Amino acid sequence: MWGSRQKRRTTRIDTLIGQHSEILGDIRFSGGLHVDGTIKGNVIADKDSRSMLSLDEKGTIEGEVSVPYVVINGVVIGDVHSGDHVELSSKARVTGNVYYNLIEMAIGAEVNGKLVHSPNTEDSPLALGHIDPLEAD
């Protein structure tokens, strides 16, 4: 594990939601999204494997998150779906389940829900985006 860390994600930030901003409704994006404010709705990345969400310690998301690469240092009230990688920093607070392929969790991070490992395969619903229980057979 020491020194065998895979290449670090270096996606640039294409969209910024500022500290004093509040979004009501779902957000669909590709590329990099950094959130310092509040989102009351789902955050969904297009099926671009390079998409990344970064949630600052001042940021809050009240809704589901479905993004390949997620870095959380704020509050998420809802499930987090990541087909690639989840990083939970020391001030991360997640109330909901976290579905991940790879996870990093710092001391102090909290998850009030289940941690569910989901291997990253092309057939995996998590790798393809949001899961709708009504569509599952």
For residue range 14-64, list pLDDT tens digits in order: 899 999 999 999 999 999 999 999 999 999 998 766 899 999 999 999 999
Inside any domain, residue 74: yes
Which of the four pLDDT bands, split at 50, 70 and 90, describes residue 137?
very low
User: Domain range holding 44?
Assistant: 15-127
- Predicted confidence (pLDDT) per residue in 61-104, tens digit: 999 999 999 999 999 999 999 989 999 999 999 999 999 999 99
What pLDDT is attached to residue 14?
87
Inside any domain, residue 48: yes
Inside any domain, residue 100: yes
What is the count of structural domains for the chain?
A: 1
pTM, two decimal places: 0.80
Inside any domain, residue 136: no
Inside any domain, residue 88: yes
Burial of 39-66, coded b for 16+ CB within 10 Å and e otherwise, reads beebbbbeeeeebbbbbbebbbbebbbb
Inside any domain, residue 2: no
